[in-house]
C-alpha cells in the first residue's frame, strides 16, 4: 500500500487552517498544522512534509523568509504560497525563490486539490479531473485522409504523422507589463502530464481556460480567450512559441494579459529553453491540411491554407509609407531559424490609432520600448530589426493563432493584409469542415 503523503499547512488564520485540513484529510492526506513561521520551521525539522501550503503574511517570520529557509534546507519539499493580499509581483518573487505555485484567497476546493495533485505528481488523478474539459479531439487529418506513419529516426514526418507529446522540465516565471491593459503582469509556466493540453488560468482564479479555438472571445488588436469570468488577453506571441517548440501540455498562470516584453517573442523562446523541453509518453497526431480553405477575396484582403508537408506562411502587405510593400515566405523547419528570423519581429502601432484604442480601453501599456510606433511619415521610436519587420510580425501572430486548433499544424498559408479576425475565421471554417 502506498504511503500517505504528508502536507503541512502554515497560516495564522484558524479558519483557513481548519478548512484546508478538512479538505486534504478527506482526500486521504496526513495533515500537520502551524500557526506562524517559527512553528513551521520546527515541524518541518521534526519530519519534512511532501508539500507545504504557506501563507505570506504571518507574525514573527513572514512566508517569504520561511520559503527561503525551506528551499535552502529541504529543496525537495514542494511549497505552495497562499495569500489574500498578493499580486503578480508577489507571485513572481515567490516562484523565483522556489515556490511550486501561488494561489490567492479565497481558496476554492477544486483549485486546492488540483494544485495539490500537480505538486505531488499524482498525474492519473489530475487527468481524471479534466475529462470534462474539451481540450483534445480525436486526431485526424483536416479536409481529407492521407495515410502516414511516425518515423522517429531523424527522417522527415509524413502527412498524418504522430509526434511525442511535450511539456517543460521545470516551472519557470517571468514578470512584465500588459500592452493593452497597462497592468503589471507576469507568467508562471508549469509542466502538465500527457493529454492535459495547454491551459491558461488567472492568479486570482482557479477557473481554467483551454488554449483552444472554442474559447476565443475577441480578436480586437490581439487574441483573447475566455471561460466563465476569466479572460486572458494577448496570447498570440506565447502561443506561436509553444507551436514552434511543439509544447502540447502546459499550465500558464498569469494576470488578465500576457506580458508584451519588447513586443516580440524572443523572451518567450528564452523562457522555454531555460525551462527545458521534455518529451512525454503518449503521442499526438499533427493536423495535416489536405483541402484548400479561403477567407476573403483572393484579389484583396484574404487568408488561405492548403496542403503542405511542412508549415509554410507567406504574408504580404501593401500599406502607405513608411511601411510600404512587404512580403515574406517562411518555412518552419527548425526552432533556430524561427528564433533568428521571426521571433525578434515586434508588434507595431500607429500614432493615429491611439485615440481609438484609448476609447476601447486598449494600448494602456504601450511604451516606446515595447512596440514599433509609426506616424504618417516614419518609424519614430526605434530602428527596424528587419526591413520587412512588419510582415514578419504578422507571420508570428498567424503562427500563434493557428495553434488554437490544439495541435501542431502542417499546411501552406497565404495571407494578405489580414489579422487576428481573419485568422480565427479561417480556423473556424477548418473546424466546421472537420465536424462534417
- Catalytic sites, residue numbers: 420
Cell 488540483 locates to 114
* Backbone φ, ψ for residue 160 (5° rounding): 85, 10
* List of residues 6+ apart from 225 with CB closer than 8 A: 200, 209, 210, 211, 212, 215, 216, 217, 231, 232, 235, 404
Contact between 219 and 421 (Cβ < 8 Å): yes
Q: How far is CA 333 from CA 337, 361, 396, 410, in A?
A: 8, 38, 15, 11
Contact between 296 and 303 (Cβ < 8 Å): yes
Sign of CA dihedral 16, 22, 27, 29: positive
Q: Give the count of beta carbons closer than 10 Å to the beta carbon of residue 12.
A: 16
Residue whose C-alpha is closest to residue 115's, from 97, 94, 101: 101
Residues 129, 23, 64, CA angle at the centre, nearest 5°? 95
Q: How far is CA 175 from CA 9, 90, 321, 358, 365, in A?
A: 27, 10, 35, 24, 14
Q: How far is CA 360 from CA 255, 357, 366, in A?
A: 19, 5, 14
Amino acid at each position: 500500500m502506498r504511503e500517505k503523503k504528508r502536507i503541512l499547512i502554515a497560516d495564522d488564520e484558524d479558519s483557513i487552517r481548519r478548512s484546508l485540513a478538512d479538505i486534504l484529510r478527506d482526500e486521504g492526506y496526513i495533515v500537520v498544522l502551524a500557526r506562524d513561521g517559527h512553528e513551521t520551521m520546527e515541524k518541518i525539522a521534526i519530519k519534512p512534509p511532501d508539500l507545504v501550503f504557506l501563507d505570506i503574511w504571518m507574525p514573527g517570520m513572514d512566508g517569504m523568509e520561511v520559503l527561503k529557509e525551506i528551499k535552502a534546507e529541504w529543496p525537495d519539499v514542494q511549497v505552495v504560497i497562499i495569500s489574500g493580499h498578493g499580486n503578480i509581483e508577489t507571485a513572481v518573487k515567490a516562484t523565483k525563490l522556489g515556490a511550486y505555485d501561488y494561489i490567492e484567497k479565497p481558496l476554492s476546493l477544486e483549485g486546492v486539490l488540483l494544485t495539490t495533485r500537480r505538486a505531488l505528481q499524482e498525474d492519473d488523478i489530475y487527468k481524471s479531473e479534466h475529462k470534462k474539459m474539451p481540450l483534445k479531439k480525436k486526431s485526424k487529418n483536416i479536409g481529407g485522409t492521407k495515410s502516414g506513419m511516425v518515423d522517429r529516426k531523424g527522417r522527415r514526418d509524413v502527412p498524418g504523422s504522430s509526434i511525442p507529446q511535450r511539456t517543460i522540465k521545470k516551472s519557470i516565471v517571468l514578470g512584465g507589463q500588459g500592452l493593452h491593459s497597462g497592468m503589471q503582469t507576469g507568467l508562471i509556466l508549469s509542466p502538465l502530464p500527457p493529454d492535459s493540453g495547454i491551459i491558461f488560468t488567472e492568479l486570482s482564479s482557479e477557473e481554467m481556460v483551454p488554449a483552444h479555438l472554442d474559447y476565443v472571445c475577441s480578436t480586437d488588436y490581439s487574441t483573447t480567450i475566455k471561460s466563465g469570468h476569466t479572460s486572458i488577453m494577448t496570447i498570440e506571441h506565447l502561443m506561436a512559441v509553444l507551436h514552434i517548440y511543439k509544447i502540447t501540455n502546459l499550465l500558464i498562470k498569469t494576470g488578465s494579459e500576457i506580458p508584451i516584453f519588447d513586443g516580440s517573442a524572443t523572451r518567450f523562446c528564452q523562457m522555454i529553453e531555460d525551462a527545458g523541453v521534455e518529451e512525454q509518453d503518449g503521442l499526438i497526431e499533427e493536423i495535416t491540411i489536405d483541402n484548400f480553405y479561403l477567407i476573403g477575396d483572393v484579389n484583396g484582403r484574404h487568408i488561405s491554407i492548403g496542403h503542405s508537408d511542412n508549415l509554410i506562411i507567406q504574408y504580404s502587405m501593401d500599406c502607405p509609407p513608411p511601411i510600404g510593400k512587404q512580403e515574406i515566405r517562411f518555412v518552419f523547419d527548425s526552432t533556430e531559424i524561427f528564433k533568428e528570423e521571426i521571433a525578434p519581429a515586434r508588434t507595431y502601432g500607429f500614432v493615429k490609432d491611439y485615440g481609438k484604442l484609448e476609447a476601447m480601453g486598449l494600448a494602456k501599456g504601450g511604451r516606446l520600448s515595447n512596440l514599433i510606433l509609426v506616424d504618417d511619415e516614419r518609424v519614430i521610436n526605434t530602428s527596424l530589426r528587419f526591413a520587412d519587420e512588419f510582415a514578419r510580425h504578422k507571420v508570428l501572430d498567424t503562427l500563434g493563432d493557428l495553434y488554437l486548433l490544439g495541435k501542431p499544424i502542417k499546411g501552406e498559408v497565404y495571407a494578405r493584409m489580414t489579422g487576428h479576425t481573419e485568422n480565427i475565421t479561417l480556423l473556424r471554417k477548418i473546424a466546421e469542415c472537420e465536424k462534417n
